[in-house]
Structure 1
Amino acid sequence: MSKLWSIVLEASIHASIVGIVILLVKCILRDKISGKWSYLLWMLLVIKLIIPFGPQSSLSVFNKLPINISQINSYDESLDISKNEYTEGYDIDDMTYSSNTENNVIINEESTFTTKKEFRNSKSVVFDILPLIWLGGFITSLFVAVFMNFVLNYNLKKDNKNIDERLELLLIKCKNNMGIRTNIDISINEDIRTPGLCKIIKPKIIFPYSMIDLNDDEVEHILLHELSHYKRCDILVNYLLILLQCVHWFNPLIWYLFKKIREDMELATDEMVVKVLDESEHKNYAMTIITLIERVNIIPKNIGILGMADNKKILKKRINMIKKAKIFKNRKVLISVMGVSCMLVLGTILLTSKSDSKDDIVKGNLEGLLEYKNAYVGNASNINNLLQNLTFGWEKESIELKTDKEPYGIRVYYKLKDINKSELEYKLFVNSTIIFSLIDNLENIEYYILDKSSHKESELKYELNFNKNDVENALGIDSINKFNKSEESFNLLIEKLSIYRQVGTTLDEAISNTIKKFMYDNDFGGELDSEGYKILGSKENKNIIETYVVFNYGSFEFENDVFSILTRAYCETVAIKFKIGEDNKYYLIDYKIPLDGSYYLSSRQEIFPVYLWYKVINTEKYFNELSKQQENQAKEYLKSINREADINVDENRIDGKYSKEYPSINVEAQDKIYMVEELYTYPSWIGTREAVIDGKRYKYEMTTKKDTDGYHVMIYKKYDEYKNLIEEHNYKIYDNDIKEIKHIIK
């Protein structure tokens, strides 16, 4: 139901935009286009309501108004992977890695927590009932329409007066003039106030008993008008508009646009009538319309009837159109060319969908990787771009390709800070699976994890090796490359990999770990990773959950003895898709984050459902709430290490004790200091910072003094947790140059 409601809402938005554009075009053209073409332009709106999406085009108006029906739903349905298609648990007994610490790796993160499935945000309850409200309105509107049609049919069957021979002869004459051979009856009824056409099957012209005193010419004009409605299939269009109006009952703009369609329908019908009549009859036809409108005191409410005098407000427009009939006739070719051109141009920009360009497309953690598919491992640029889009992409130092002889392989160098060994291994397993699946002739991947930016063996921290056959055996598949044939097959592989990305035993834990462990990987390396988040909405389909989240993320560390946050992101948004396993644990399938410019408006609208758009482009209001969550996490951490300290959750706060003093040196000298690699871990301000490395706490201090010769000296000292000095560097600042004058490492 949610999916259907989203599609209806998207179609309504699309059609509203189409309708506004058509109104603007009609306003520009004014009297330069005939009633027929003015009416035909509205068919673009009807088509858009029925088919809200179309072929992608760079010319589409929706490139400027980014609305994409494929993204309005979280997902269509859960992927269909049977239990026996993947291995249970995380054990990969057959995989062998070359490692300086162990030979066999078991990718397993068992948790002792009691699993409890958590789902539903109280704030989203209102949005969850919107589909039901729409459905209720649709059923009610449809019932009213059907009931009114039933009443119409009932009225047509009772109290009908006998049709006199005069009306029958005039009907035959008019049918001959219009070239109509279909059997169309005429009925005289006391309950109908205006002449009209009704019924798709066995069409009938209803003639009010109160108007049988009209003269022959007036009756003939009325019959020609109703027969024109029949010949133009307007009765079918009218019933289609009634149905669409029931579907889009909630959109007042659609109601207004449909009113305009019916007005132009009458203009187009009048135009067809005056083409049949002699030019001398045009004035009399206009007088017939005026006579009818004057005699109809109450506008009828029969939705199934196309009445000639239903709308008194457009009388002036109808008379003006009749007056210009001769002009339209003389300029028939020019007007037709203009009408066709308008249809083609507007069809191109209104019936097409947003171009799925790479500049706008939103990529998730694993989504969009299929574009890096390559049959040959020797394409260094392709391999490099692929690695850049995988976990640890920003920590990649370099790559080496082994293509001199088979089996072909690659070697990847990463410079990583502190990271859990088992966590590193299963993340690289996921990376390797993706790479093997996309590069056809790749057989082996070696990972070298470095302590520093160097390839020297002395700097090597870990060495891991993954073989394609071992990965295939671990996944229980015969050929990993078969998954790169299409988006559908590649998505199956992504879901299969989710079993190796267990992120929590509860939804809360799963969201928290996804933000901290996957979205930002090893980017910060502070003492405490923290996040604050709020679920804006969620959708669940079988065992698949997609949550829409606004979050803060940052690492805390001690700066000048204040536990301060190093904010990486605040008030950001993400859509995270999880799979709930048979063990009721949460497994990460994928996440999507905004990537484009313009305040992320385009990609946020690509990612999130329409009902959340307002929230995701106004996330700043959540800052205090999310920062409070991070502050509470910092308090709990300080309590766990038995330390008291002030907490600063705003990296931009500079007042009072949170302010920092920076050395008074010129910019050139400052830049040179910042380029000294051995000073990277020291603070850039006059003061201290602390870091926990391999479980040990170190304090880094920077102070300044003036030397006897008047030049500034910057002093960098490193202490262990027992306040023992273990490192010191002194740099003298000579105007725009620097020189190390003291170097102590114990």
Structure 2
Amino acid sequence: MEKIWGYVVGATIFGSVTGFIVLIIKNLLKNKINKRYAYLFWMILVIKLIIPFGPESNISLFNKIPINYNNQKILSRNTTKLDNIDSNDMSTEDTKDEINATTSTYQDNNSVNENITQESQVVNNKPTISTMSVKSDKFSKILFFVWLSGFVFSAVTYMIIYMSFIKDLKKCSKLKYEILENILRNCKNQLNINKRIQIVVYDKISSPSLVGMRNLKIVLPRNLINLSEEELRHIFLHELCHYKNKDNYMDNLIGLLQCIHWFNPLIHYYFKKMRNDMEICCDERVLNLLNEDEHNKYGITILNVLEKINFNHKMRVGLNMANDKKTIKERINLIKNNKNFSKKKKLFMMTGIICLLVMGGALLTNGKSVNADEDLDKAISSVILGEYRPAHKKEYPAIYLGEGELPVEAHEILGKSIKNDKIEVYLMATYGSYEFQNDVFNMVNSSSQIPLQITLTTDEKQGHKLKDNNKYYLVDIKIAEDGSEFVKSIKDMFPMKEAIKALAIIDDTKKSEKLFEEINQDATKYVESLGRKSKVTYNYVEKENIDESVLENIWKLEQVDKYPDYIGTREVIENKKRYIYETDYSKTTKVLCFTKTDENNEIVEETCYEIDNNKIKKLDSDKYVSYKKYSGKDFLYIQESDVTFTINEIKIVNNEAKLYVTVKNESDKDLHISMDSITIGENKKSMDMEVTIGKGESQDNILTIKSISKISDLNDKHTGAILIRDMNNADDVQKIDFINKF
């Protein structure tokens, strides 16, 4: 509904301007162009009404005519469009009351994907901006339904009149007029027309007319059938020229456009002028068919028709030869001067073609937005992202404060003011930062809908240089204050009109979502440029969390501040090199490990901590092996009894090796498995291992090897004997020797 109404409004505005320009050009070139091209000028109006929003062009006349049909455009880092809005103060008391009636809270939250939130309240029983927005939407809907009602009424009325007219013509078409048919046949031969065209005599029509698109009819009032054969020939030639020019199709299209723009009197006036030019164009074509000595007689025919027609008839259907006394003078002048026109035919034709091409380029395109200044947009983005650090604002270096591999922003221009060399831009900004977390390019920090006033200049002496921008320099930047001063600071920063827009946008969650979509598109392009196929999202991504008690201890470790506070990885660019920071936590062994690797998967640093009664203790790197290194490896595989011991983790505790294993019994017996010693290399170590496990079952267990001070003590050949007893048969005991290289 909103799109349809916006399309109609845009078309009627652009059409009104286009028609006015066409009238001016036609008057300036009144006697210097071929009449056919004068008529074709109106085709530009028809096209503009059908397709109002053409491509932008530097030669567009609308560059000089400030028509703004979409005052709110969303911008991203890779777009360069700004709104063409001049900032004008609104001084009405009602507007002031509306702003004063609104309070908001503005809260900047730098946690993952938690955006700015704003709340609006009603003060002193006055309407908030949200209420204003609702009222505006209701008013827009009312206008749409008013227009729709008028369109339906106009279209239905036109169809009823047309169908009634066609029904009456069918009754009259039974009468044949042989003399008229013979004259029409000769005229058709002269114009090489083979299509069947019927003559109908009908009293309710005011003037000779061509009716229909498929079943064509030339309709004559009864008082004209007694005209001379020559005059009737002139009438038929005129109507047949309408057919040759396809004017019957154009007339119906004009009728439809008039129904659509029923509320715009300018459009109706332009189409009246267009129909008059359509008749004059046909006159010119008829004159080209007649001998020079017949031209005056053709003019006399027009005058005779005009004298005999009855202007009291209200019905107008089809193309009428003479229905406007005011245009007869122009048509007669055309006939008088046709000889002079013929002599300069080529010159007038070239003038018409050139004018048609120039007007088409100037009117069928839209003006280049004043805001399409790429340098200006880059300057705004540079300020928002904090690439520039003003020396005079060390306490507040820039807007963007979040960490991340890729900072991105999107902003919406509410208005701008140009004074001398300075440009004040009033906008709402959203920014965020992305980084790879568990191979997902995720937004890790963001802030949404921030009201900003940025002042730039083209004079390098008045501003401070921005990164990668040699055209604009930063003069000043203002940001709305947080908390209770939020609304007041917006009013102080912005002109009143822009302040109203800002407060209205804050209540619109769709606007925030749309800006984040713009940001995400930039992030996606960045990932693609790296040649990676990682998922890109600004939404929260679930991760495996560390125990809260452990997490509290992590924050005390200054040397691990770059590691993730979840189980997984994050990637960081340092000195133009990519490093992977990984946090690994075992809820089984209560060991927390931090590992930094480079892009070649080489370990740069590794630190492990043991959590004991909420106390954190650093481990020697040789006393703990992450489960990811040994996970899934078989420590013992007893083939004779179908029993497997699979390592999950290893930890050295009090000079003992703790092997956290999963035991799986795939035999058909309930087993008790024990082992009291193991030989590692040439050293015999005491062993504490006793497992009772049912057939087909699996369970976690801990095997303890004593007198082990470091992990490397285990890196040798293991030999020993395992005692296996069938729990259902006391006499079934096996002692199995094994050899295993760990």
How far residue 515 of structure 1 moved from its aligned partner, in angstroms, is 3.5
Alignment of 1:707-718 (within 5 A): none
| Residue 388 of structure 1 pairs with residue 382 of structure 2 | yes
* Alpha-carbon displacement from aligned partner over 1:226-255 (angstroms, at most 9, x marks no partner): 101111111111101101111111111111
Quote the residue 1:335 is aligned against: 348
Quote the residue 2:447 is aligned against: 501
2:214 is aligned, of 187, 192, 201, to: 201
Structure 1: distance between partners of 2:341 and 2:334: 9
Structure 1: distance between partners of 2:27 and 2:202: 40
| Residue 33 of structure 1 pairs with residue 26 of structure 2 | no
How far residue 389 of structure 1 moved from its aligned partner, in angstroms, is 3.3
For 1:197, what is the secondary structure of its paired residue?
strand
Alignment gaps of 5+ in structure 2? 76-109, 123-127, 411-430, 456-475, 519-742
Structure 1: distance between partners of 2:511 and 2:35: 64
How many residue pairs end up in the alignment?
435
| Residue 428 of structure 1 pairs with residue 401 of structure 2 | yes
Quote the residue 1:472 is aligned against: 436
Contact 2:239–2:321 (8 Å) recurs in 1: yes
Alignment of 1:584-623 (within 5 A): 589=515
For 1:206, what is the secondary structure of its paired residue?
strand
Which range moved further: 223-232 or 190-199?
190-199
Contact 1:392–1:521 (8 Å) recurs in 2: no
* Alpha-carbon displacement from aligned partner over 1:392-433 (angstroms, at most 9, x marks no partner): 577x237xxxxxxxxxxxxxx9723599xxxx8xx5338864
How far residue 572 of structure 1 moved from its aligned partner, in angstroms, is 3.2
TM-score by length of 2: 0.52
Structure 1: distance between partners of 2:159 and 2:313: 17
Quote the residue 1:153 is aligned against: 166
Say if 1:27 and 1:112 are closer, same or farther in 2 by CA, change over 3 A: closer
Contact 1:186–1:207 (8 Å) recurs in 2: yes
Alignment of 1:323-722 (within 5 A): 323-356=336-369, 358=371, 385=379, 388-390=382-384, 396-397=389-390, 415-417=394-396, 428-429=401-402, 433-435=406-408, 471-473=435-437, 477-478=440-441, 500-501=446-447, 514-515=450-451, 523=479, 529-531=485-487, 552-554=490-492, 570-573=496-499, 574=501, 589=515
* Alpha-carbon displacement from aligned partner over 1:144-165 (angstroms, at most 9, x marks no partner): 1111111111111224462221
The percentage of counterpart residues that share the same residue type is 32
Alignment gaps of 5+ in structure 1? 77-103, 370-384, 399-412, 438-465, 481-495, 504-513, 533-550, 555-566, 593-746
* Alpha-carbon displacement from aligned partner over 1:613-666 (angstroms, at most 9, x marks no partner): xxxxxxxxxxxxxxxxxxxxxxxxxxxxxxxxxxxxxxxxxxxxxxxxxxxxxx
For 1:194, what is the secondary structure of its paired residue?
coil
Say if 1:123 and 1:112 are closer, same or farther in 2 by CA, change over 3 A: closer
Say if 1:208 and 1:297 are closer, same or farther in 2 by CA, change over 3 A: closer
Contact 2:202–2:221 (8 Å) recurs in 1: yes
Alignment of 1:156-195 (within 5 A): 156-160=169-173, 162-195=175-208
Q: Which amino acid aligns with 1:32?
A: K
| Residue 255 of structure 1 pairs with residue 268 of structure 2 | yes
Q: Which amino acid aligns with 2:18?
A: V
Structure 2: distance between partners of 1:361 and 1:48: 29
Q: How large is the RMSD of aligned CA atoms in angstroms? A: 4.3
Say if 1:131 and 1:472 are closer, same or farther in 2 by CA, change over 3 A: farther
Contact 1:44–1:347 (8 Å) recurs in 2: yes
| Residue 217 of structure 1 pairs with residue 230 of structure 2 | yes
For 2:491, what is the secondary structure of its paired residue?
strand
Quote the residue 2:147 is aligned against: 134
How far residue 37 of structure 1 moved from its aligned partner, in angstroms, is 1.6
Q: Which has the higher helix share?
A: 1
Q: Which amino acid aligns with 1:308?
A: M
How far residue 531 of structure 1 moved from its aligned partner, in angstroms, is 2.2
Q: Which amino acid aligns with 1:230?
A: Y
Structure 2: distance between partners of 1:568 and 1:18: 35
How far residue 434 of structure 1 moved from its aligned partner, in angstroms, is 3.3
Say if 1:312 and 1:105 are closer, same or farther in 2 by CA, change over 3 A: closer
How far residue 127 of structure 1 moved from its aligned partner, in angstroms, is 3.3
Contact 1:12–1:251 (8 Å) recurs in 2: yes
For 1:553, what is the secondary structure of its paired residue?
helix
Quote the residue 1:60 is aligned against: 60
| Residue 234 of structure 1 pairs with residue 252 of structure 2 | no
Q: Which amino acid aligns with 1:41?
A: F
For 2:317, what is the secondary structure of its paired residue?
coil
Contact 2:223–2:308 (8 Å) recurs in 1: no
Structure 2: distance between partners of 1:429 and 1:241: 58
Structure 1: distance between partners of 2:511 and 2:373: 34
Say if 1:569 and 1:37 are closer, same or farther in 2 by CA, change over 3 A: closer
* Alpha-carbon displacement from aligned partner over 1:466-496 (angstroms, at most 9, x marks no partner): 998x72339x845x8xxxxxxxxxxxxxxx8
* Alpha-carbon displacement from aligned partner over 1:90-148 (angstroms, at most 9, x marks no partner): xxxxxxxxxxxxxx966758989999999542652333421221111111111111111
Which range moved further: 136-145 or 124-133?
124-133
Q: Which amino acid aligns with 2:148?
A: L
Contact 2:119–2:507 (8 Å) recurs in 1: no
Structure 2: distance between partners of 1:114 and 1:18: 43
TM-score by length of 1: 0.51
Structure 1: distance between partners of 2:257 and 2:354: 27
Say if 1:183 and 1:386 are closer, same or farther in 2 by CA, change over 3 A: same
Contact 1:218–1:288 (8 Å) recurs in 2: yes
1:319 is aligned, of 309, 329, 332, to: 332
How far residue 176 of structure 1 moved from its aligned partner, in angstroms, is 1.0
Contact 1:60–1:348 (8 Å) recurs in 2: yes
Say if 1:287 and 1:236 are closer, same or farther in 2 by CA, change over 3 A: same
Contact 1:6–1:73 (8 Å) recurs in 2: no
For 1:345, what is the secondary structure of its paired residue?
helix
For 1:287, what is the secondary structure of its paired residue?
helix
Structure 2: distance between partners of 1:179 and 1:588: 60
Contact 1:68–1:354 (8 Å) recurs in 2: no
Contact 2:151–2:259 (8 Å) recurs in 1: yes
Structure 2: distance between partners of 1:153 and 1:329: 40
Structure 2: distance between partners of 1:10 and 1:43: 18
For 2:436, what is the secondary structure of its paired residue?
helix
For 2:31, what is the secondary structure of its paired residue?
helix
How far residue 258 of structure 1 moved from its aligned partner, in angstroms, is 0.6
* Alpha-carbon displacement from aligned partner over 1:525-554 (angstroms, at most 9, x marks no partner): 79973425xxxxxxxxxxxxxxxxxx9533
Quote the residue 1:16 is aligned against: 16
How far residue 216 of structure 1 moved from its aligned partner, in angstroms, is 0.6
Quote the residue 1:297 is aligned against: 310
Say if 1:589 and 1:280 are closer, same or farther in 2 by CA, change over 3 A: same
For 2:268, what is the secondary structure of its paired residue?
helix
How far residue 570 of structure 1 moved from its aligned partner, in angstroms, is 5.0
Say if 1:8 and 1:524 are closer, same or farther in 2 by CA, change over 3 A: closer
* Alpha-carbon displacement from aligned partner over 1:64-87 (angstroms, at most 9, x marks no partner): 113355x267789xxxxxxxxxxx
Q: Which amino acid aligns with 2:491?
A: Y
Say if 1:359 and 1:278 are closer, same or farther in 2 by CA, change over 3 A: same
Q: Which has the higher strand share?
A: 2
Alignment of 1:253-292 (within 5 A): 253-292=266-305
How far residue 12 of structure 1 moved from its aligned partner, in angstroms, is 1.2
Say if 1:73 and 1:172 are closer, same or farther in 2 by CA, change over 3 A: farther
Q: Which amino acid aligns with 2:487?
A: E
For 1:281, what is the secondary structure of its paired residue?
helix
Structure 2: distance between partners of 1:53 and 1:105: 42
Quote the residue 2:618 is aligned against: none
Structure 2: distance between partners of 1:348 and 1:22: 13
Structure 2: distance between partners of 1:298 and 1:73: 51
Contact 1:26–1:38 (8 Å) recurs in 2: yes
Contact 1:205–1:226 (8 Å) recurs in 2: yes
Which range moved further: 327-336 or 50-59?
50-59
